[in-house]
Amino acid sequence: WGLWRWKALPPKMRELCRDRGIPVRDDYTLQAEPPAGREETVEIAGERTMEPDMAAQEPGGYDVDAIRRDFPILADIIYLDNAATSFSPEPVIAAMVEFEHRYRANVGRGVHRLTSIASHRYWHAHEKVAEFIGGKNGVTVFTKNTTESVNMVAQGLVWKTGDRVITTILEHHSNLLPWRRLARQGVATDSIGISPDYTLDLAALERAITESTRLVAVTQASNVLGVVTPVREIARICHGRGVLLLVDGAQAVPHLPVDVEELGCDFYCFSGHKMAGPTGTGVLWMKEPCIEPLVLGGGMVETVTADGYTPAQGYQQYEAGTPNIAGGIGLGVAVDYLQAIGMDRIHRYETDLTSRLIEMLSKNDRVRVYAPKDPAHRIGVVSFTVDGFHPHEVAQQIDEAADIMVRSGHHCCQPLVESLGLPGGTVRASLAFYNTRQEIDLLVATLDELTR
């Protein structure tokens, strides 16, 4: 990936400049002077590793302090809104700055040095993401976010009147509205409910599949209840009945080891910005590139003739126009970062934190927690309400009193919160791999104070 480049002109070009009268400085550079009083100090990522600074870590241990050093913002606040978006560690930010400072160029176009470096790194980020989710045999497309990924599938499949799509009550609006819109094309949607322990009613899903069912769209982990759905069993049911399966992995990829081939889905959608990657990044993984590209234009074609075109192969055909290059490269570094810690370890660590949070919250008799009992069926997304307070009041007061950031409201899951009898929604604390026990304890202490 060498960033070889000249600062002073090479001898041949010095001659050329002399012959043509092109002014160059005494040191044979063409660079403008930096503004007076400002030294040119460009810190770049290359000098440090892309891995978390965990040198001090004990073997097999989880050194959260070392991880937190890569997130300076955590020194000032207690951030428990990671389901909405997470923070990016320094190596991710440095990689994006490095792109801007050192080799910013468009990708997949031309042959010059900068475009080669940018194209390589952008392409390599796709490879890293594909490997991270066990999807090297499929097609990994970079998108803006989960929402765009789901819409690309809903709009990119060819439907016929009478087709049906099954979703569940757990779905985020982003995995609901794209299917509902298909009603215009004569496609109906069915919704599957949950059991009293918040787990998905698998028998109901099996019963709901008919001859007309084309696709099941289900979240792998709920962004309200934190419940994890049995995707492997759902895939087995779907494939036995010739039905496609789309999985919304927005809340799963940041917290669980994911292997899309093992899960057996046809489409897997998630957001880079919820897994330590930059905002404006997301992924659509497809087992087969079986959807029509939604957007056509530059960068997605092999050839264009007088009256036709041949689309490019692989992810390129789904990424028309100039993509979010810095974001894509940053996402690749986020994957390196998470892998260096290990998704298994992140999962174990967060499972402990989540159990502690649920247990401690449940001791306050004015707090009602909405979470599955079994730690094996949940991630670190914990919804609760506080008697006598609107969820927004709780969120605002604990921010003001203790710098604690949590989400409140319906979390873009209105049908679910309504079905739980909570029209005002819930308060939601959502964890990430950089949160600590002390932060959990402070949240609980602040809520105890509030209810006192």
User: What is the closest distance, in whole angstroms, from the C-beta atom of residue 17 to ligand PLP in the complex?
Assistant: 50
Answer yes or no: 238 catalytic: no
User: What is the closest distance, in whole angstroms, from the C-beta atom of residue 146 to ligand PLP in the complex?
Assistant: 4
d(CA 271, CA 249): 8
Residues 6+ apart with CB under 8 A from 435: 64, 79, 80, 82, 350, 353, 380
Query: For strand 367-370 and strand 309-311, is the pairing parallel, antiparallel, or unpaired?
Result: unpaired
Opening angle at CA 137, ends 136 and 139, nearest 5:
80
* Nearer to ligand PLP (CB atom), residue 145 or residue 364: 145
Query: Which has the closest alpha carbon to 268: 282, 251, 248?
Result: 248
User: What is the closest distance, in whole angstroms, from the C-beta atom of residue 252 to ligand PLP in the complex?
Assistant: 8
d(CA 63, CA 77): 19
User: What is the closest distance, in whole angstroms, from the C-beta atom of residue 170 to ligand PLP in the complex?
Assistant: 8
Q: What is the DSSP code (8-state) at residue 135? A: -
Where along the sequence are the contacts to ligand PLP (CB under 6 A)?
83-84, 145-147, 172, 174-175, 219, 223, 248, 250-251, 271, 282
User: What is the closest distance, in whole angstroms, from the C-beta atom of residue 364 to ligand PLP in the complex?
Assistant: 26
d(CA 177, CA 245): 17
Residue 52 burial (CB < 10 Å; 0-12/13-18/19+)?
A: buried
- Taking a C-beta distance cutoff of 8 angstroms, is the pair 435, 63 a contact? no
* Nearer to ligand PLP (CB atom), residue 138 or residue 254: 254
- Taking a C-beta distance cutoff of 8 angstroms, is the pair 7, 31 a contact? yes
- Taking a C-beta distance cutoff of 8 angstroms, is the pair 249, 270 a contact? yes
* Nearer to ligand PLP (CB atom), residue 243 or residue 275: 275
Exactly one of 238, 269, 412, 413 is catalytic; name it.
Answer: 412
* Nearer to ligand PLP (CB atom), residue 88 or residue 145: 145
- Taking a C-beta distance cutoff of 8 angstroms, is the pair 150, 122 a contact? no
Query: For strand 309-311 and strand 301-304, is the pairing parallel, antiparallel, or unpaired?
Result: antiparallel
* Nearer to ligand PLP (CB atom), residue 225 or residue 450: 225
Catalytic residues: 412
